[in-house]
Structure formats: structure tokens, C-alpha cells
Amino acid sequence: MVASPVQPVILKASTIARTHTVLAYIAFTSALGIGCLLHYKKIVKNGVAGYPQEWFPSVSATIGDWYPERNIFQIIIALTSGPRFALVYLQYYLQTRQASESFWPAFLLVVGVVRTLSCGGWVYITSSDDHDVHDFFMILYMVCNIPWTIGGVLSSRGKSVRRRRTLVASVFFLSIVPLVYFFIQHKVHRIPGAYTKYAFFEWSLIFFDVLYDAISEQEFAEADLKVTVGTVLEGRSSEQLDYPKSINESKKPDIHVDSATAVGETNATERSKQSVWSMISGLVPTSLLSFLSDVYLSYVFLTLFTALIPSLFYFSIWELGIAGQELALLAALSPFFLGFSSVRTFAISRMGQVVLQSLSLTSLLAYLLDKPLQRLMIVTPAVALGSLAVAAKWLDNDGGYQAIVFGLGWIVTSLAKHANHTNNPLWPFINSKSGGYNRTGLVLAILALRQLSTRPITLPKSTTKLHGIQQPHWISAALPLGSLIFSIHTLLAESSTLVAWSWSGYENGAPRGPLPHVHSSLTILVQCLGLALALYSIKDSTSDTTSISQPSGGNAEKGKSGAQWNVVSTPNPIYAFISSPGFYTFGVASAYVLYSYKNWPGYVGGLGVAFFLMCMIPIVFRRVVAATKADGDMPSNVGRTLGTAFVVYCLLTLACIFTVAYAFIPGGVYFRERTDMVLIVQMACFLPLFSLPSRSAIRSTEPSLQVSRTTTSYIYALLSIMSAVSGIVTIYRLPSSPPQPFKPGPRIIQAGIWTVHFGFDNEGHDSQRGIRNLVRDMQLDIVGLLETDLHRTSFGHRDLTRVIVEDMGYNVDIGPGPNQHTWGCVLLSKFPIVNSTHHLLPSPHGELAPAIEAVLNVYGTEVTVVVAHNGQEEDPLDRELQSTELARIMRASYPKPVIFLGYVVTRPYARRPNPYEIMVADGRVHDIDQDDFDRWCEYIFYRGLYRTSYARISRGIITDTEMQIGQFVLPRHGTSVSDESVAARYSRAQKEQLAVDHWFPMEYYGGPGHGGVNGHFYHVFNTPLYYLLPPDATV
């Protein structure tokens, strides 16, 4: 008896997509409905407020906090996973049939799978299970949405499908803007009701995310895509079954999922292996690998380039003057050697590039060396070789590509620092203890270099040689290139530098302008937009469409005999715009606003400068190529052009550094406080690109910048990803809870002052984490840090507060910005900052000394805190005038409580005109301990508080100065100090006579070579000093 054949089952692919949509919406709406029904007030409550201020729940609270809605949601999501994986594969299948040569289908398949798995991560690992893991998968999901939506739109073939996907994707990403805004309002400013508004946009993201995938139903239906599941019986081939026609016959693709016969098993396996191998090899095309390798090598070069000056300046800050190591800066002048044809030929060649960059990359191992001088000796030749290799690449025929890669390298550098507490993870002076990822970076650099050495050699395209046409003067290329490198390095090497330029403090409990750790991602976003516009300006491989006509008044023979031909340019409109004098005016105006204004107006001006500089990159590179090519492709003026450009960079860098030179530095008096002149010169150096008289003649000789269409898509994708990642990093780094004092019960205030020597420890490494560890162990509520203005080339453009703020949750005032020409001072507070004012203390003959005057809300009482750094002993008049001003500031707040944390440079009890008597007597404050005669730099003064302890802790390896800590108790609200007599204030005690809350950590007892923590221990007195409260104190 012959068994009846099993008929195949045919499923419409559109039905699978619809099933996915229905299940996804049911999962979320059921969780929302059940949650509101059973636990409404619980799921709308958050860390800031509850019902009725908050009245709509967030997605996380709805799906992850309570039974049974969480469990029902997870079960339905599990049912959704099958259609979800099928949808991802069906899209891949359809896209490969429509564009078999494209890399998008395989790439989107991988992204889709990762996106689905990450969805499972944040669904099944809730925020209450593990907050960090939940956030990681949520961030990964959001990042995957970028290529998933962009790739889906680009791969859509139907106009209706593409239009709908574009609309939904646009609304999705636009919703992120208010989402982030209200999240910051909730998380940072703690505004009741903000989280409800945030929740609406969070739910809208869910709605649009599912809706985007739902559009696949229409795409599958239009393609008549079907899934056929059946069994091939004995004696019947698959061709005998009645399947729908193949895509080649009907242009309507089907999928045949059949069990293979024994006879065809081998062939099927072969085909399967070939298919899998083709898919794997097609995941990352060679062109994409080459592009990523070039960007990464650009990032590595800029890492070393930006590490040179901080590595050598370590010696300058220890010498407080010219140390001699500054000559290492001359390593950047190696492009002068490209003037020799033999060196140029070697450096441009593939072999030369590999050799030079290989030798340069060895400096990534410098982090293994303990001594700063050894690291400098490795970094210096590496920068020389790297500069030579990079400058040689700028002469290549693909000038447009090299220009964009150069810009991308800077953005990657800024993003890496933004994600790593403003430290470049590959810097030689950053190791694993200070946040380095040196080994990982070295491995990736080796892989990128291997890809460079093995990639197919592309023959240069033939170019039309126009003879007898004016070549731009080499100086017109050298000046803009040098200024471009300097400007990006000075202003954009770290995304929060522009914020520091505009920062001015707090008013009425809120910051007046952008916060460095919250808003600096906007700088990266604007950089990406500027570079995207620059790339668009050279779209379709041309920036100028050039036609050649015969000279007027003659015949063709005359033209052939050597007469000049007229070259007529029709510029790309965008390129014409960014190369116009009007756009240059925009750049100059933005620089003026950045320098002259504070807060948001100043920062917006800084964003304008960032946009301008990114747009300038292809214009500058185009001029460089034009100035170094004569009669077609013959090199000319190469060494002097590129070498002079780096001379301009070095001179501007030195001038910028000398704007804050010590008073006793030779020549410092001519540059000190003249950032305005440096800014004028650096912008004026761009002027040759926009000079009116001969622009058309010069532009006609500049070669077109060429970037292939495939590479253009890679660049846009990378810019989009970096923009999104910068925002995600900012959100991820925000503290999970508002700042809280360590000991609110007994109303204790612990305040410390520390001069941290520009963030370099005694071994030349970044000291942020070492500072954080001591601050954390001492449980400081208020911290004054001095010598902290690191937003300069000499210090690597770092933010010394970032680790402490993001790891420990402090309110921060970073003090006067780098355009105020001070050493810098910082205030960190666990208490809300009500108002703060920055002061530039009088300095007729020396450098400016900074001060922060802040009013803190301490347990409901306003307390004035002053953090200041007086001038050095070389100028007594400076110190006298500065002390007089500080005394005036403290006296003006009398009788309110005051804490002074500062660097004074005086002996205790020193008479006028020395600072001690001026500040104590005129400021109406008390010394923390008038019997401590072993002081010179750091002092703590106070008023209106009960002092209960005083500690001096050795510096360890962090800096050259100790930390001093004062512990105070705030009188009960509405009362004041009951007895300010010397006897009442100096009732000394053993720690056992006070409550345990007043004790300092026991682990820090010790001495040199024994005890203590990380080299820190109580010194001078070998223990903290303790004091009893007056008997009638009301606390």
C-alpha cells in the first residue's frame, strides 16, 4: 500500500511579520494595563517623586518590577522570539535576492540577531536584577537600532516601504532628543514630574520600534514571499512537487525548506558549506576593513601626537620652568624631510607606510616603562615617524579620503576620551591602574597594520594634467594646515573643553550653562555633523566640475602651441558655501562669541567653531595637494609646505602654553593672558583659503577630492554611530542617585583641600583614580582641588573631576576656564550648590590666581565655601593683594558660616603684609589649628561651625603636596556657635571621647614604609587631632 504523499505547508511571510507585531504589542500593552491595574502607585514612583507628581510609569518599572505583569510580559516576549528570528532571516533572504553583491544583507543579518539577543537581555535581566547588565543590553539594543534602521531604509526597494520606514525611523530618533532632555531633568536636576514626561517618550520608542519592524509585512506581501515546509518522499524529486515559481521566473521569491534525500545529501552539504562560507566572508567586505583600519591607525597616530606634549610637560611642571625636555616638540617637524625625493618616495610607498607606522606603533608599549623620561624617549621618535608617515599620505591621489579619515581620527580620539573619563585609553602615561586599555589597543593596531600591509594595491587613477596654470603659493597651504591641526588639538581634542571655556558656575541652585559631564556629547555631535557636511561637499567624487575651453581670439592650433587654456569651474553648491568668505565670517564670529561670552551663548559659539573646523578639513587638504603638485602629479614644495605647517602648529602651541606661563618663565610676560591674540592669529591663518582676488584662478588648479560611494556610506554610518554612542555614554555615566552627604545624622561636614599638581602623579601617570580613592576613604563632603585646569595641550585636555563626579556623585564647579589663564581650582560638594562666583584674584605682575566662592545648602543652612590658590612667593605684592581680596570675600558673608580651603603661601602668625594676618583678622575667620606651626602652602579657615577634627595626610605618589581635612559640625538650624573663645575651641580630646561618626579611618595610621594605604598615612601629628564640642553647643 502506497502512503499518500505529505503535502507541503505554505506560509505567507507577511503572516509571520504580522504575528510578530501583534505579539509584541500585546506583550507591552498587557504589562502596562495589568501594572496600572494592580500596582499603579508603585510603578509610577521613582527616586525623585511619586504620585501625584509622577503619574505615568516607565517601561522598565512596568515590565520588570512586579508580579504578575512581569511574568506575563516575559512569556509573551518568549513567544515573540520565534517570529522575530524568522523576520530577521526573511529580510536577509529577500535582500540577498535583490542585491546579491551588497554587503548590507549579511551585515544586517548579524545586527538583527544581536539586536534580538540584546532585547532578550534587557527583558529577562531587569533593572532590579542587575542594573548595570540591564543598562548594557538596553544600550546595545539602541546602538544596534542605528544600522538596523539605516540599513533597512537603504535596502528597501518599494517606494512606499522606504517612505514609511524613513518616516518611522525619523520619528524614532527624533524622540530620543526630548527623552534625553527629560531624563537629565529627572536624573541631574531632580525635577518632580520630569520622569513622567520621560516615560511617554520611552513608550513612544517602543511603539515606533515595533512599528518599524511591522513594515516588513508590507514588504513581504509586495514580494509575495512565502515559506514552504514539506517532505520529499521516496522516488520523488523536489522538482516533482508543486512549488511556487522561483525568483528567476516570476521575480517573486519563495523559500523551500525541504528534508534532503539520501542521494542529494552530499551535494546539499556542499552547497550549505559554500553558502555559510560565502556569508561569513561577506560579512566584512575588504573595503570596510580597509576603511576601519585607516580610521583606527589615524586614531592611534593622534593618540601618540597628543601624548607628546603632556609627556614632556611633566618635567616642566616639576621644574616650574624650562626643563630642557621641551625640545622633544621638534619631533613634529619631521615632515620637512619629505622635501627629499628619496624620503618622499619611500614614505608614500606601501612598504614605507608599513615600516614607518610599525616603528611608530612600538611606542604603544611605552606604558610598560616606569620612568617618565623613558616613556618620553620612546614617544618622541614615534611621533616623528608617525608625522612623517601621515603627512606623506596627505600627498596621495585620494586626498578627499585622507582628509575625512584625518577628521574621523580626531572624533574617535575625542569619543574615546569621553567614554574613558577624559583620558585616552592608549596614552603611554595611562596604564591599567589609571583607566588604560593599552594591550587591547596594541592588538587592534597590529591587526589594522596587517590589514594595511595585505590589502590589494589600488592603481592610481589617471588625471588630466593642466599645464601652464597658476599654482597656489605653498604658504597659502602651510598656514591653514598648521592652524587647522592646532585649532582642532586645542579646542576639540576633548569634548568638554568648549564647556570649560564657557563655564561660570551656579545660580539659584542650577548651573548657568552646560555641565562638562552632561553636555559635552553635544560637541561630538556637532563635529560629526560638520564632517558629514564636509563629506557631502565632495559628494559624487567631485567638488568642482571643470570644463576647458580654447583661449579667446585664437584658433585651435594656437591653443596646441602652448597658449593657456581657460578653466571654468562649476562648484558643488555645498563646497562653494563652506569655501566662501561668508562661511569664514561665520567661523570668525563663532570664535569671537566663544571668547567673549559665557554660559550657553559662549558654548554655542564654541559649537560654531567646532562645526567650522570640521568643514574646513577638505578645503585645507585640497589646497595642500594643489600647492604640492606642479604640472599634473609632479611633487613640488612638499617639504616646505608640510614642514612649515607643523612649524605653525608648534609656534601656536607654544604661544598658547605661554598664556599661562609662570611669572619667572623667560618671555612669559609677552604672552601671558593673551589668548585673544592667539585666537586671532589662528583664525587669520585660514584667510589665504578665502582671499577674494584670485580665488577662481587658484580653485581651478586644485584637484577634485574623491571618495567612493561605498566609502561614503561607511563614513556616514560611522558618524551616526559615534554621535549615538556619545549620547549613550553620557546617559550611562550619569550617577544613579543624587549626591548625599556621608554623615547627615550628626550634621557632620568633612572638608578637604589638596593641591593635585595638574593631575600627574610622581610617576607621570594620571592621578584621577588615586585622588578618588583617598577622597572616598576619607568620606569628604566638600573637596577643594587646586592646580586643576587641565583643558590645555600641555596637560592633555583632561577633566580632573570626571572620575570622582561619575563614580561618587558630587556636584561640581570646575572653576575659571582655560581662557581665564589660571592654574585652576575645583569645588566638589555632596551638598547642593546654591550660587557660585569665580574670582580672578589681583595679580599686577604675575599670573592670575583663581578662587571659587560658593554658597552651599548644608542641612538647610547656607554655608559659604571659598576655594583659592594664591600666587607664588616670588611676588609678595601678588600675595598681599590676593589675600586682601579673599579676606573681603569672607568678611562680606559675615555672620554666615564659612569654610576656606586654599593655597596661601605663608607661615602661621605671619604679620602683614604676609597673607596669614590679613586673611584671619580681616576675613573674621579662625585657623583650623593655630598651634600647627609646620605649614606653608595649604590652610583651612572657618567660621560659624564647631570644629571637631583636623587631619593631615601624606601625599603618597599622587602629588607633591599633602591633603588637609577639617571636620565640622553645623549648629542646629536657627542657632549659632555658642562659645567662640579659645578655650572652648581648643578642648582637645582622644578619639574615644567622641562618637564613632567623628573617627577617621584606622587603616591610615602608619608611616613611611609601613602602614597606611597606597602610601598615604596620617603624618606631622601621626594621628588626626580631635576636639570636644563646648558643653552648651546646640547641634
Question: The C-alpha cell of 353 is what?
Answer: 607606510
- Cα–Cα separations (whole angstroms), residue 127 to 132, 133, 209, 821: 8, 8, 21, 45
Helix H or strand E segment including 256? strand 254-258
In the chain, the amino acid numbered 258 is D
In the chain, the amino acid numbered 508 is N
What is the per-residue DSSP string for 306-333?
HHHHHHHHHHHHHHTS--SGGGGGGGGG
Q: Nearest to residue 383, comparing CAs of 366, 405, 403? A: 366
Place of cell 579673599: 886
Helix H or strand E segment including 558? helix 556-560
- Report d(CA 861, CA 896) in Å as an integer: 9
- Angle, vertex CA 424, rays to CA 420 and CA 428, nearest 5: 130
- In terms of Cβ atoms closer than 10 Å to its own Cβ (0-12, 13-18, 19+), residue 11 is middle
Strand partners, 857: 862
Give per-residue burial for 842-872: e unless 16+ CB within 10 Å, then b.
bbeebbbbbbbbbbbebbebebbbbbbbbbb
Place of cell 516570476: 250
User: Strand 226-230 and strand 254-258: pairing?
Assistant: parallel
Taking residue 1021's Cβ as centre, other Cβ atoms within 10 Å add up to 13
Rounded to a whole number of angstroms, the distance between the first and last alpha carbons of the chain is 100
Q: Nearest to residue 904, comparing CAs of 925, 762, 1026? A: 925
Taking residue 440's Cβ as centre, other Cβ atoms within 10 Å add up to 11
Judge contact between 503 and 814, C-beta under 8 A. yes
Q: Please state the φ and ψ torsions of residue 359, each to the nearest 5 degrees.
A: -65, -35
- Which one from 418, 791, 869, 1016 is the annotated catalytic residue? 869
Q: How far is CA 738 from the centre of its chain?
A: 23
What is the per-residue DSSP string for 5-62?
PPPPEEEEHHHHHHHHHHHHHHHHHHHHHHHHHHHHHHHH--SS--TTT--S--HHHH
- Report d(CA 868, CA 435) in Å as an integer: 29
Please say if 869 is a catalytic residue. yes
User: Annotated catalytic sites, by residue?
Assistant: 869
